Structure 1
Amino acid sequence: MAAAAASSPFPAASKLAAAHPPPEGVKYAYGTAGFRMRAELLDAAVVRMGMLAALRAKQTGKAVGVMVTASHNPVADNGLKMVDPSGGMLAASWEVLAAKLANAGIADVGAELAAVAGEGACGDAACEGAVVIVGRDTRPSSPALADLVAAGVASVGGSVLDGGVVSTPQLHYLVGASNATARACESARLGGLRPDVDGYFARLATSYKACLAAAAVDAAAAAPEQGTTIIDAADGVGGPQAARTASDLAGALSWEVRNAGDSASLNDGCGAEFVQKGRTPPRGVDAASDALPGSRICSLDGDADRVVFHAFVPAEGEAGASWELVDGDKLAALLAVTVGAPLKRAGGEA
């Protein structure tokens, strides 16, 4: 095996791949959500995706991202998804390459990389200057998998920027901001694009206040007079991120975070997937204490890239409350009405 690695067009990468063989009988499939399965089955796939991400960064001349997460899956699972330089999803043509490389035999990894890199672009330093931003969620398995991604990047000569524990939307922002892909006018109006997590929070706060101003809403009066907003953070990365956002928007927006940080209970009886599919409230909330006028509940998933709203609605003139879910379709309709009103006032078309 050592001789095969030495004769490979990518010697260091082939040696690393040999040290992390795919489990017997496992077939990797890269879809919209990237790779996702039991965490202990992922070593081979994530180390090879580090290599592929570096090649993508080298060929585009811009940073790309890798997020280690399994989103709304149970805590024993994990996964990986790649982020293109725009901050959007990986190009569909590269999803095919990802699956092919992940499933290649150990002896074929170097050849598969060479097919992607092109003639004359191989070797242990092939991706010198390429940058891959790696983020991860709060699962216990995520740090080790993120380290394997970094090892894969390094094996082909690329460099890693550690995004740390971030939500998936934050990683998308970090990649897009690093490559300055936002329109200049929008960037200037909202305070620029700082390619770090502080820049993400600053932009979020500035954008929210700009929306209030456009709708002629007094920021100090934006918080409800009664009740509160409760965030069910699914015991994932959304807990600390929501707390930071509330701090940045103090006086304009307030909420209470529940299910905020026990990663061992990630997505267990809580979170957007549990609420939407089960049509039931998450743990940590109940009608007895949370059925207050003006109160509403927001459930995130484990990597905070998905949301549903719901509430306990007190019955008029009667004891008790009914639970009502506002799913994606209803949220879309609500957004259309909310955006349409200021457009009409401004003389535009809704």
Structure 2
Amino acid sequence: MSSFQKVAEASSKFPKPDAAFTYGTAGVRTLGSLLESTVFRVGLLAALRSKKHGGACIGVMITASHNKEEDNGVKIVEPMGEMLDQSWESYCTDLANAPTDANVTQILETIVSKENIDLSLPATVAYARDTRPSGPALQAALESGLAALEAKPLNFGIVTTPQLHYFVRCINSKNTDNPYGEPTEDGYYKKLAAAFNKLIEGRAKTDPIHIDAANGVGAPQVLKLSSFIGSDSLDIVVHNDTINVENKLNVECGADYVKSNQRSPSGVNVQPKQRFCSFDGDADRILFYYVSESTGKFNLLDGDKIATLAALYIKEQITDAGLKDLRVGVIQTAYANGSSTEYIQKKLQLPVVFTKTGVKHLHHEAEKWDIGVYFEANGHGTILFNSKARDAFNSAQPDTPAQDDALSRLRALRDLTNETVGDAMSDMLIVEVILRTKGWSLEQWNQCYTDKANRLLKVIVKDRTIFKTTNAEQTLTSPDGLQSTIDNLVAKYPGSRSFVRPSGTEDAVRVYAEANSTQDCDELAYKVAGQVFDQAGGRGTRPPEFL
């Protein structure tokens, strides 16, 4: 194969370092200095994936999201903006770990044969990166990979991860009966701004929204978005917006830091009545928070709170529009706070479905509903609308002006939503619309329900593979007897639950516990952790806090 001869020559410029790589849900992530060979090879695979899809545009994003600045990563985006099909993840892992250039071409030949790919078909790959210092070198490696298979490159420069997902979907849906939008930065901002301004029409303007942009790519992008929305509609104040100085990205700031530490980011002085949110490094996650006026307490509104707010609004609009036959579902993982699940099921009377941990599982389940709402507690999530919902919004005949208005709001809500992936900018505007519609402050939103006390612990074990789960990772089937021990412990604490699941990355298991009080929660968590350590091969010295 002459085309692969060119690949071998190009590959020789990007020798594989002495490191192992794995392609998972977030793509490949490690030190940016180790990634040039991998990104080159991802370029090759993206070109093949485009040919496999008959020449459809495939995306490649160079980012490591909330990781430290010296890390970087790469992931492939499917034609409708989805994550890479799981069946191709192993191809990426195999390619990244191929020791020689000859091995690289052999693997490519195997993929072409196994997937029945016509190499004469054209390939198009759209790509972008975040603000990391290692980005330019990795982009150059990617471009070399694309050139080696003569793929058409579409460089979108420095943008957020959700923006690249949006561009890819726009490109591939352009000449269909359901075009997603204009595949440009301006097109993205115009679509969100128009939908937002339609939804807030006639609503009183709120106080400014303060954004901790994690010193990442979200900082310049949200300011561009703000200029399209207009200061008459929304005042945005951006903090932690230093993107051209090293060792700032995600340092004591960003959504992951705020969630992990349950505190405000550094460099930000949150005052009572101020409204704050944090993006992560590539702006696909968002969390909100405020400080209580009476107590000065820090209050976090995480992905569970966003999911319940979105579900509340959708339920109201569907009812007002007379579209009661549309199936609305909320998708959660076992880590969702039990109070949020109870609120959705009992107060909103909407079904909740649990999936395994990981965005791809949530997204896949959400696709099964007419309107599927999913958010992880970490602030990553979105809303999906299927063709039945879209058709209903566009063609339902309203009986009253109120129904007509609700249908109009649902159409605008869909335009305001980035259905491809979690998007901090889009999600921020959705929350703002709902709070204005309800006339709520962050504090009033937070009062919808009170989170149960919860704790997440890690237990180091000799072999995590002996831990097998069922029931969306909430129940152990192995080791024998451990689940009944957990059940007996949970029974002693009213309103509590606990589950154990193996880590995906290290020989450890995660123990999650929640209960009505902090004392009960901590006791339960440390008792379950102690039993895991004792019964299932804990490694090293037994931690003294385990009960």
Query: TM-score, normalised to structure 2's length?
Result: 0.56
Instruction: Provide the rounded CA distance (Å) in 2 between the counterparts of 1:66 and 1:328.
Output: 26
**How many residue pairs align between the two structures?**
320
Instruction: Provide the rounded CA distance (Å) in 1 between the counterparts of 2:239 and 2:115.
Output: 54
Confirm whether residue 348 of structure 1 aligns to residue 323 of structure 2: yes
Confirm whether residue 174 of structure 1 aligns to residue 185 of structure 2: no
Q: How far did residue 244 of structure 1 move?
A: 1.1
Instruction: Provide the rounded CA distance (Å) in 1 between the counterparts of 2:36 and 2:21.
Output: 11
| Conserved? CA contact 2:52–2:115, under 8 Å | no
* Pairing 1:77-226 to 2, within 5 Å after superposition: 77-106=71-100, 107-118=102-113, 126=119, 129-180=122-173, 184=177, 187=179, 193-212=181-200, 217-218=201-202, 221=204, 223-224=205-206
Deviation string for 1:74-100 (max 9, x for gaps)? 111000011011111111111111111
Instruction: Provide the rounded CA distance (Å) in 2 between the counterparts of 1:65 and 1:120.
Output: 19
Amino acid aligned to 2:277: C
Amino acid aligned to 1:206: A
Confirm whether residue 285 of structure 1 aligns to residue 268 of structure 2: yes
Instruction: Provide the rounded CA distance (Å) in 2 between the counterparts of 1:37 and 1:182.
Output: 38
| Conserved? CA contact 1:150–1:160, under 8 Å | yes
Q: How far did residue 203 of structure 1 move?
A: 1.2
| Conserved? CA contact 2:48–2:117, under 8 Å | no
Residue 4 of structure 1 corresponds to: none
Instruction: Provide the rounded CA distance (Å) in 1 between the counterparts of 2:290 and 2:323.
Output: 33
Instruction: Provide the rounded CA distance (Å) in 1 between the counterparts of 2:137 and 2:41.
Output: 14
Deviation string for 1:29-55 (max 9, x for gaps)? 000100000011101110000011011
Instruction: Provide the rounded CA distance (Å) in 1 between the counterparts of 2:175 and 2:310.
Output: 23
Amino acid aligned to 1:76: E
Q: Call closer, same or farther: CA 1:42–1:323 in 2, change over 3 Å.
A: same
Deviation string for 1:175-228 (max 9, x for gaps)? 11111179735x4xxxx621111111111112223444xxxx515x2x31xx42
Q: How far did residue 338 of structure 1 move?
A: 2.2
How much identity, in percent, do the aligned residues show?
38
| Conserved? CA contact 1:9–1:114, under 8 Å | no
Residue 43 of structure 2 corresponds to: 50
Q: Call closer, same or farther: CA 1:243–1:119 in 2, change over 3 Å.
A: closer
Confirm whether residue 266 of structure 1 aligns to residue 241 of structure 2: no
Confirm whether residue 248 of structure 1 aligns to residue 232 of structure 2: no
Q: How far did residue 252 of structure 1 move?
A: 1.9
Instruction: Provide the rounded CA distance (Å) in 1 between the counterparts of 2:159 and 2:76.
Output: 14
Q: Call closer, same or farther: CA 1:326–1:122 in 2, change over 3 Å.
A: closer
| Conserved? CA contact 1:88–1:172, under 8 Å | yes
Is 134-143 or 249-258 further displaced after alignment? 249-258
Higher Rg of the two aligned structures: 2
Q: How far did residue 326 of structure 1 move?
A: 0.3
Query: TM-score, normalised to structure 1's length?
Result: 0.86
Confirm whether residue 34 of structure 1 aligns to residue 27 of structure 2: yes
Amino acid aligned to 2:215: D
| Conserved? CA contact 1:272–1:308, under 8 Å | yes
Residue 325 of structure 1 corresponds to: 300
Q: Give ranges in structure 2 of 5+ residues lacking alignment.
A: 325-349, 351-547
SS in structure 1 of the partner of residue 315 of structure 2: helix
SS in structure 1 of the partner of residue 12 of structure 2: helix
Q: Answer 1 or 2: higher relative contact order, Cα 8 Å, separation at least 6.
A: 1
| Conserved? CA contact 1:75–1:139, under 8 Å | yes
Q: CA RMSD in A?
A: 2.3
Amino acid aligned to 2:48: L
Instruction: Provide the rounded CA distance (Å) in 2 between the counterparts of 1:12 and 1:110.
Output: 10
Residue 213 of structure 2 corresponds to: 233
Residue 276 of structure 2 corresponds to: 297
Q: How far did residue 72 of structure 1 move?
A: 0.2
| Conserved? CA contact 2:51–2:117, under 8 Å | no
Deviation string for 1:229-276 (max 9, x for gaps)? 100000001001111111111122221011113352000010000001
Instruction: Provide the rounded CA distance (Å) in 2 between the counterparts of 1:121 and 1:13.
Output: 19
Q: Give ranges in structure 1 of 5+ residues lacking alignment.
A: 1-6
Residue 372 of structure 2 corresponds to: none
Instruction: Provide the rounded CA distance (Å) in 2 between the counterparts of 1:155 and 1:122.
Output: 17
Q: How far did residue 345 of structure 1 move?
A: 2.1
